[in-house]
Amino acid sequence: MNADLAPAPSPLALARAEILELKPYEHAAWEPALERLHANELPWRSSGDATLAGLNRYPEPQPRALVERLASLYGVTPAEVLVGRGSDEAIDLLTRAFCRAGADSVIICPPTFGMYAVAARIQGAAVVRVPLDAGRGFALDARAVLEGAGGSVKLVYVCSPNNPTGTLAEEAALLKLAGALAGRALLVVDEAYIEFSGAPSLARHVAAHSHLAVVRTLSKAHGLAGARCGTLIAAPEVVALLRKIIPPYALTQPTIETVLAALEPAQLEASRQRVALIRAERERLAAALQDIPGVERVYPSVANFLLAEFGDASAACARARAAGILVRDVRSQPGLGRHLRITVGTPEQNARLLAALARPADEQGAAP
């Protein structure tokens, strides 16, 4: 038999049978031209309601204008877009749709973002760890991932650029992995920081790779963490499946309106300029950190944070805090026993952090 002639396996073959069969909640029809006497809402706005649509109304589920705007932002079709409350919601929905409690598992590549494992545990799925290769600058071990992806594994998470190492996985390696995983597991590439890298997103490859899903967020480069808006880009059948299980009115009306306004061309241009500033600051901060005694290593990063190894990470953390600055202690992560993750801030914040870390130990805590 010629393998080339075999139909591509559908990613839905990996999904939980009860989710495939689920009849979703039927939310109130969205027909804005008609009077709404079908949803038990109050007919009046309350005072102070400055939204365009009115907070007395349930919002549009998967708002069409927002889905279309995000599809165009990410260069994909609306049918490939699921919009939810941050990427965290996409990760949660994927886990619940694909992993049977007590039976299935996910692969994560530590050190990495914590939510993949947390979502798996909440669902009762096992977590299989395939560590990044610390000896090769935290590179993805694609061969080990593929070897581990047998049997119960349904989802494989790769964070690129990776949090907290700041490293980008090679596009060719990811595409090859997605192809090799077809029929076995869905490759989920979390691109929360891709805008800071200058590298293209894998989103444009989702159409040709049924077992590739890409997670994007407005929380980082777009400066909208408080709005809670993230996007899953996946095969239309996967998006349709997750639309069945997302809570009926997941996005609030203020979020929908705020995000649409923030994605206007002028706002996007301002956002690109802020990203350019952060990238320049990242390089400046990395170089300056490198020169501070007690900083043993600063890893190259393509994200908006730096991973650094310290002779005494807890002392460095305390110095930053004494200067009124929080940095992230990542020492509980495998291979990062002496490391901190530092978000790139404004030039002023970065200068303050550098000054705090550079101050000799005997001046610590001295009155100003």
If one asks whether residue 336 binds ligand PLP (CB under 6 A), the answer comes out as: no
- Closer CB to ligand PLP, residue 73 or residue 180? 73
At 167, give phi and psi (nearest 5°): -100, 145
At 47, give phi and psi (nearest 5°): -70, 145
Q: Are 71 and 120 in contact (CB under 8 A)?
A: no
- Closer CB to ligand PLP, residue 81 or residue 356? 81
Subset of residues 113 to 132 that bind ligand PLP, contact rule: CB under 6 A: 113
If one asks whether residue 230 binds ligand PLP (CB under 6 A), the answer comes out as: yes
Q: Are 272 and 162 in contact (CB under 8 A)?
A: no
3-state secondary structure of 139: strand
50 to 69: interface string for ligand PLP, x by CB under 6 A: --------------------
If one asks whether residue 86 binds ligand PLP (CB under 6 A), the answer comes out as: yes
In the complex, the smallest distance separating the C-beta of residue 85 from ligand PLP, rounded to whole angstroms, is: 7
With residue 342 as reference, give the H or E element that holds it. Answer: strand 339-343
Q: What is the dihedral of CA 60, 65, 68, 73, to 10 degrees?
A: -120
Subset of residues 153 to 212 that bind ligand PLP, contact rule: CB under 6 A: 159, 163, 190, 192
C-alpha to C-alpha distance for 232 and 206, rounded to whole angstroms: 11
In the complex, the smallest distance separating the C-beta of residue 27 from ligand PLP, rounded to whole angstroms, is: 23
Choosing from 134, 208, 225, 268, the residue that interacts with ligand PLP (CB under 6 A) is 225
**Residue whose Cβ sits closest to ligand PLP:** 86
C-alpha to C-alpha distance for 224 and 5, rounded to whole angstroms: 45
In the complex, the smallest distance separating the C-beta of residue 197 from ligand PLP, rounded to whole angstroms, is: 13
Task: Give me the DSSP letters along 151-204.
Answer: TTEEEEEEESSPTTT-PPPPHHHHHHHHHHHTTT-EEEEE-TTGGGT-PPPGGG
- Closer CB to ligand PLP, residue 56 or residue 333? 333
In the complex, the smallest distance separating the C-beta of residue 312 from ligand PLP, rounded to whole angstroms, is: 26
- Closer CB to ligand PLP, residue 159 or residue 242? 159
Site residues for ligand PLP per CB under 6 A: 86-88, 113, 159, 163, 190, 192, 217, 219-220, 225, 230
